[in-house]
Amino acid sequence: MKRICLWSSPRNISTALMYSFAQRNDTIVFDEPLYGHYLRVTGYDHPGRNEILESMETDGEKVIREQILGDHEKEVIFFKQMTHHYIELSDEFLKDVINVFLIRDPEELIVSFSKVIPDVTMERIGVKMQYDLYQKLKTFGRKPPVIDSGEILKDPEKVLSQLCGMLGIPFQKEMLKWNAGPIPEDGIWAKYWYNNVHKSTGFSKPDKKDKAFPEEFRTLLDECKIYYSQLKEFSIKAN
């Protein structure tokens, strides 16, 4: 059994990737299983906070033990994870899963995140945490695949084919298309965050930047670029 943890930054194409893997005939997907744990530990007021806390397990160690490392009916298990949800948890389970990092240009990430949650901080978007977690996994003797949303959108089939090869699973053409609308595996928070992916039927070309970057986030952007650029060096390229 292959247990894949996709460690993503927010406002990325992680949901589209979850939809992509959900099209596979050998895979089941789980949407942000540590979200309830994250909200309980941090106390952050995300959209739908109370509804989320009431609808899912909030003990992160129990989620790891029973869901991430639990028994499942299919051979490939895909867990869409937000890297910033990985707090106050033991590291041992990371050795028992296949870790993949999904990164995004921090300029695009910050602008998109601020439209939903205006208080944008490094802790809330997890860019440094992605870098730190990648370095931690290297000390375990692992070299996790890194995928960049910009590269995926340039050539989804090429990048996903390479990713599947690194994961040791066959690429399936079905991963490139899905029906518009929600899927049963969506988290209860989908109504706040998934509007665009619910309109999609595949990986869409990136929108052109039409506004200047907000100056109040300039310092944060400069710091994020340091970590992003180092991870991007290892990412699968479309060209």
In angstroms, the CA 232 to CA 7 distance is 14
pLDDT of 212 reads 84
Superfamily the domain 2-232 falls into:
P-loop containing nucleotide triphosphate hydrolases (3.40.50.300)
What are the residue ranges spanned by the domains of the chain? 2-232
DSSP code, position 32: -
Tens digit of each residue's pLDDT (9 = 90 or more) over 35-55: 999 999 999 999 999 999 999
195-218: average pLDDT: 85
Helix and strand numbers, DSSP H then E, in the chain = 12, 5
pLDDT of 204 reads 84
In angstroms, the CA 3 to CA 9 distance is 19
- Give the long-range contacts of residues 209-218, CB within 8 A, separation 24 or more: 209/107, 209/108, 211/111, 213/107, 213/110, 213/111, 214/110, 214/111, 214/114, 217/110, 217/114, 217/120
pLDDT above 70 for 210? no
**Cα angle for residues 219, 221, 223 (degrees, 5° grid):** 75
Residues in the chain: 239
In angstroms, the CA 66 to CA 47 distance is 26
pTM: 0.94
